[in-house]
Structure 1
């Protein structure tokens, strides 16, 4: 429990700062008294979640595989894998960002954006998307820092970005009168700070070296065994959010603005839960790599207790403060009604969403990444579409209630499955990446064979008639 609290607590501070800045962005834009701009924030958030989901999935895979190698005592291999896959992350997210820029108009139309709200959202996306690779670097480096247990530096990486954004936002939005475009420029600059600090911190922990061509593809396949299911898992949430945003758009800009406000409040209010799911993964992976299966079970139980405690405390704070929240964002009509419903009732459903997050973390780090894909897509489809469709008959508040009810069903099922997975773990279980390369072998024998392969490659590199191609020294 202490280990989980320390890792998640430091992560929560950084995440809360980042999400608080996003919330401040919405606060600043709402003060411009333009409903189209507030709705545009909602649409850009929905598109941004799809982009960020890819970076999150890759960082999950990177952290899980490197943490397991570190737990097994293979630091050099962990450093090599980290360096190779960080390069893959940069290339992948750069291509994704360029694609989003080129197709921003049809993407926003798909989300239900029209008129001036679509125009403003398009401008924001065209500024932010080319710098998507910057946040991928920041997330990857933060994941590596958690993998080596450096919670303080991982926290500092996100804090610097949040501080930069907090300073730049009012200056660009109000001082230079750039409005939503100012918020976009601020986002890009803060992501650049996060990437630079994260890269520097990871180098200090000796977790980076120059990638070599012969290792990039094998290492990418190794991490991809966890990362690809994690990406598919994380894409499910924004895809489900697409349906919810589109449903809200049928009730007008006020409903979209209300949903956008809640979407900004949730990460701040539950930053500890978001940090928890990112922090306990390396703890589970290291203990799995070291064969400490009892600690894997303890980590799962401790995480669920902390989820319940976090939701209870947040509920006790927001319930009496709902009028203050409504007034802070100048919310009226439908927007105010959605905020009050969240603070009074639907906030309790986040216990089950937190349970789903913890279960997915267990699946991704214990060798069952396809389970997390199944449950997240189950939530995004069967756990969202029919519930929201029925809720639409009762207006925008019915949409919000339907979204939460679906999470209750899926979250309960997921956490029961997570305990089943932990009970089935056995000492010597092959990790996901190794299972792909060496099926049917124990973890110990797999590691031995990989060592032998490395030794054979080293001998081949040292032959007189072939050029040397050693792993480079740390960058």
Structure 2
């Protein structure tokens, strides 16, 4: 048992905020990198089979998988924010009740979604346009993997719970362990046992079981965040989670909408432009894993300090997070600018494809500073009882920040499309950060504690009398 987790659950209310941001984002990035690398490796191994129908089946299955992942991520944001807030307020027993009830609720929702997906699989495949051999392979792949969607949800939820208590390293190992299992089993099952796509599906199932097992062990056994569910009061425990989770689910659906429109615009310029966009899409998750991990990393820090009534530390966390974003983007910009020729050769890019890669690596990469600002703002909104603002800015970026700018840019070729997308991100990222700072600046210590208490459905006095909340007036405290 992790005694430190038992005796000091609200670890973000003291210590260096910058250190918490770096540790939480760093460990979260490792887990994300593992996921990105494994997804790429999975597709790489399948593509070696030399059958385009197999690769297309993985693509169709991935599209369906996205909706399950988006809902699970939205739920985990709500669970993490609510649990961390209660831990920061010193209400560990209540935090365990909320975490336990929420985990059961997430699994229940996922089971219903899985059943609906399998029952409606043929209409869904009709909608996606899957036909012939590709359709049959997609059905086979999903019939094997879809029943393990609840395992995926358990792994994601328990990892978020461990981040909420500050156990970033063990949360990282949840995704990392599944990634290692997939990386090892894929070549064995696909090529060694000659199972092809079926082997990839079996590898996927085993990895999700490992994901859930490692997550449950860390959250329930080590950190003791999962306990007996009191079904009589479970709805009351889940309700504050849904207040954050439902807008977060809507928020997560914004990005693919924008991405689909950009891809549609790029398609006007032929396969070479699509290839350039696809190459960028492979580069960015690796180059900016720290940025992608930041929203989840900052959330527990803000939530714990909200529960502890430490508005000063919340403001400091936001400042340090912005500094972290700028430093990360500057470093990534320098590296990509230096290695762009190597990347062009590695992807065998020529003509328009090479121009797109070079333009992105040379200067458009800087636009990710504004994407990082949007992520930090999202973390602030989701953990300060303003989740609708997160939804508003993400959908604003996906619509008003994408459609008109890309429509104007398309008149100037594929580079114009990228510039238009970057311009929209810059505007909405800046606006979101400005609004987030206004929200944070208006949080006096007393109101901060009362807000946390109301969100936790507990008396305000409980939040004010946190052991250690009055400690650490020193400006010194960290999720994907």
Equivalent residues in 2 for 1:273-352, closer than 5 Å: 273-329=291-347, 338-352=356-370
Change (3 A) 1:124 1:304: farther
Alignment match of 2:178 (pick from 161, 185, 192): 161
8 Å contact kept, 1:226–1:432: no
- The range that moved more, 34-43 or 360-369, is 34-43
Aligned partner of 1:83 in structure 2 is 100
Alignment pair present for 1:20 and 2:20 = no
Aligned-residue offset at 1:147: 1.2
- The range that moved more, 176-185 or 62-71, is 176-185
8 Å contact kept, 1:146–1:282: yes
Aligned-residue offset at 1:381: 1.2
8 Å contact kept, 1:124–1:184: yes
- The range that moved more, 162-171 or 349-358, is 162-171
TM-score by length of 1: 0.83
- The range that moved more, 210-219 or 293-302, is 210-219
- The range that moved more, 413-422 or 386-395, is 386-395
Aligned partner of 1:212 in structure 2 is 230
- The range that moved more, 149-158 or 425-434, is 425-434
Change (3 A) 1:46 1:349: farther
TM-score by length of 2: 0.82
Question: Over residues 53-103 of structure 1, what are the superposed CA-to-partner deviations in whole Å (9 max), with x where a residue is unaligned?
Answer: 211111111011111111111111100110000011111122223434455
Alignment match of 1:414 (pick from 426, 432, 435): 432
Question: Over residues 186-217 of structure 1, what are the superposed CA-to-partner deviations in whole Å (9 max), with x where a residue is unaligned?
Answer: 33322221111000111121111121221221
Question: Over residues 221-266 of structure 1, what are the superposed CA-to-partner deviations in whole Å (9 max), with x where a residue is unaligned?
Answer: 1211111111111122223333334445566666555544433432
Q: Secondary structure of 1:294's partner? A: helix
Aligned partner of 2:471 in structure 1 is none
Aligned partner of 1:10 in structure 2 is 27
Aligned-residue offset at 1:383: 1.3
Alignment match of 1:69 (pick from 63, 78, 86): 86
Question: Over residues 99-155 of structure 1, what are the superposed CA-to-partner deviations in whole Å (9 max), with x where a residue is unaligned?
Answer: 344555665676687887777666655544332222211111011111111112111
Q: How many residues align?
A: 446
Residues in 2 aligned to 1:96 and 1:374: alpha-carbon distance in whole angstroms = 26
- The range that moved more, 7-16 or 106-115, is 106-115
Aligned partner of 1:471 in structure 2 is none
Residues in 2 aligned to 1:329 and 1:176: alpha-carbon distance in whole angstroms = 30
Q: Which has the higher contact order (CA 8 A, sep 6+)?
A: 2
Alignment pair present for 1:366 and 2:376 = no
- The range that moved more, 182-191 or 413-422, is 182-191
Alignment match of 1:58 (pick from 47, 72, 75): 75
8 Å contact kept, 2:397–2:424: yes
Aligned-residue offset at 1:287: 0.7
Q: Secondary structure of 2:400's partner? A: coil
- The range that moved more, 168-177 or 85-94, is 168-177
Specify every segment of 5 or more residues in structure 2 that has no aligned partner in the other structure, as ranges: 1-17, 466-480
Aligned partner of 1:135 in structure 2 is 152
- The range that moved more, 362-371 or 95-104, is 95-104
Aligned-residue offset at 1:319: 2.6
8 Å contact kept, 2:307–2:463: no
Residues in 2 aligned to 1:320 and 1:177: alpha-carbon distance in whole angstroms = 41
